[in-house]
Amino acid sequence: MNLTHPFLDRDGDKLREECGVFGVIGAKDAASMAALGLHALQHRGQEACGMTSFDGKDFFARRGLGHVAQVFGNAESIAELPGHMASGHVRYSTTGGSGLRNVQPLFADLASGGFSIAHNGNISNAMSLKRELVRRGAIFQSTSDTEVIIHLVATSRYPTLLDRFVDALRMVEGAYSLICMTDEGMIACRDPLGIRPLVMGRIGDAIVFASESVALDVIGAELVRSIEPGELVQVDHKGTISSHRPFGNHNQRPCIFEHVYFSRPDSTLDGKSVYMVRKQIGAELAKESPADADLVIPVPDSGVPAAIGYAQESGVPFELGIIRSHYVGRTFIQPSDGARNADVKRKHNANRPLVEGKRIVLIDDSIVRGTTSLKIVQMMRDAGAAEVHMRIASPPTSNSCFYGVDTPERSKLLAAKMDVKAMAEFIHADSLSFVSIDGLYRAVGEAGRSAKCPQFCDACFTGDYPTRLTDLSERDTPDLLTLPVNKVA
């Protein structure tokens, strides 16, 4: 992720921060396993990827802009990464020539030996930590918040690397699922609230860590369990596993948006099937917001499981009224509004013979800027739909995420600007409804959102951020972190 200033325009080139991490130790062909694992995590970040390996003596690294298949899709690239331990990262990157220096895993030679780190999440006090580190003489190589952790580890006075690592993390606020490699082995760790996911698996004698269980499936590894919030798991080169809980007890707050959109539907998150949760959100939506309609139509692919749940609950038939081209990336990765609009048209096409003359319920997982909904509703009307009722399988997204999901700044979120009635008019829908926050919690298997102890991070829907947002209060100080490296004092 990038060190981001929350008040910068999130469409600027500094603000892309969705990632996936993967690590394997004890495997003969660690790098090729990691390449496959990263490929299964491609949906978490499509602009750059990297890998570090260790052969018992030396560390090796390869990083590149582009998809995993482009950067690690041939034998030569894997041959550059020998050894039985490898870790990797997929991400949205900054655009432009400086992008590569932020591509992870980041690597440093510390006094204790090599240290590689791959991070999913976002550190919400990174700028204030960096400012202090720079003041004390640290020289940063990247604009990534993750590099802050490296400097904190390097300057900690504790005797062992594990203690220095924990000491560093105690200073960090926000979201982090980390996979680190040292001369001694691999460390995987999840922040005390468990905001971003991380799982552990096993294949033969090898131990695997990944953002999502789907990355274990692809290499034939079995899912052992989720890394617990606040847990740090260390695996040495003999395969000895030790678990540490250095941060005490916290109420865990995993990101609920992973269930709504971000994770792949064939993953399980903290023991729950993402697909089943999404179907259940659709069922809750049908109970809360029925519609008099002939067909339930998903916005593919993100709305499909919820639409199945909506159709099954309501008894209205499910049909594919929109066909998706699989040869375009996700809408968000394009840099400007103009490009995003063009993308919607390239990506989706109406199934006109089905839709013509019908009253339809359109299901999508979320409305962010409203770009997709506006285009899709119009597409259905152009195809002859008699009525278009939009149903959204999440509550209105009215707050930005500071924990590693790419959302625009608040002023660009449709739900931050308008109430639901005005949003319906804006997207030209005959009706519009969102699932309630309690309905969403019920779908994930919880009783509802208790004001005292919400069980998830749902800040994008409620504005209830589970950590301090220290960097927000720094908005008036000069921003060292977004200056080009050669201009940082």
Are 363 and 306 spatial neighbours (Cβ–Cβ below 8 Å)? Answer: yes
Report the residue from 16, 151, 369, 442 that binds ligand AMP according to the rule CB under 6 A.
369
Site for ligand AMP in 323-352 (CB under 6 A): 330-332
Residue 49 or 367 having the CB closest to ligand AMP = 367
- Residue count (the chain): 489
Tell me how far apart the alpha carbons of residues 202 and 156 are, in angstroms, rounded to a whole number: 32
Residue 14 or 151 having the CB closest to ligand AMP = 14
Residue 334 CB, nearest distance to ligand AMP (Å)? 11
Residue 16 CB, nearest distance to ligand AMP (Å)? 10
Residue 364 or 458 having the CB closest to ligand AMP = 364
Report the residue from 46, 104, 142, 407 that binds ligand AMP according to the rule CB under 6 A.
407
Site for ligand AMP in 284-303 (CB under 6 A): 299, 302
Confirm or reject binding of residue 405 to ligand AMP (CB under 6 A): yes
Residue 25 or 304 having the CB closest to ligand AMP = 304
Confirm or reject binding of residue 461 to ligand AMP (CB under 6 A): no
Q: Is 453 annotated as a binding residue?
A: no
Closest by Cα among 284, 315, 232 to 440: 284
Binding map of ligand AMP across residues 252-271, x = CB under 6 A, - = no contact: ---------x----------
Report the residue from 93, 144, 182, 366 that binds ligand AMP according to the rule CB under 6 A.
366
Residue 372 CB, nearest distance to ligand AMP (Å)? 3
- Residues touching ligand AMP, count (CB under 6 A): 19
Based on the residue annotation, tell me whether 19 is a catalytic residue of this protein.
Answer: yes
Confirm or reject binding of residue 372 to ligand AMP (CB under 6 A): yes
Binding map of ligand AMP across residues 62-101, x = CB under 6 A, - = no contact: ----------------------------------------
Tell me how far apart the alpha carbons of residues 415 and 389 are, in angstroms, rounded to a whole number: 18
Backbone region of residue 243 per phi and psi (left: phi > 0; alpha: psi in -120 to 50; beta: other values): beta
Q: Is 189 annotated as a binding residue?
A: no
Q: Is 471 annotated as a binding residue?
A: no
Confirm or reject binding of residue 54 to ligand AMP (CB under 6 A): no
Residue 193 CB, nearest distance to ligand AMP (Å)? 19
Residue 133 CB, nearest distance to ligand AMP (Å)? 30
Confirm or reject binding of residue 47 to ligand AMP (CB under 6 A): no
Residue 50 or 303 having the CB closest to ligand AMP = 303
Residue 107 or 261 having the CB closest to ligand AMP = 261
Residue 54 or 332 having the CB closest to ligand AMP = 332
Residue 340 CB, nearest distance to ligand AMP (Å)? 7
Cβ count near 344 (within 10 Å) = 19
Q: Please identify which of the residues 19, 49, 180, 189 carries the catalytic annotation.
A: 19
Interface residue list for ligand AMP (CB under 6 A)? 261, 299, 302, 330-332, 364-373, 405-407
Catalytic residues: 19
Binding residues for Mg(2+): 302, 364-365
- Annotated binding residues, written as ranges, equal 255, 302, 364-365, 401, 457, 460
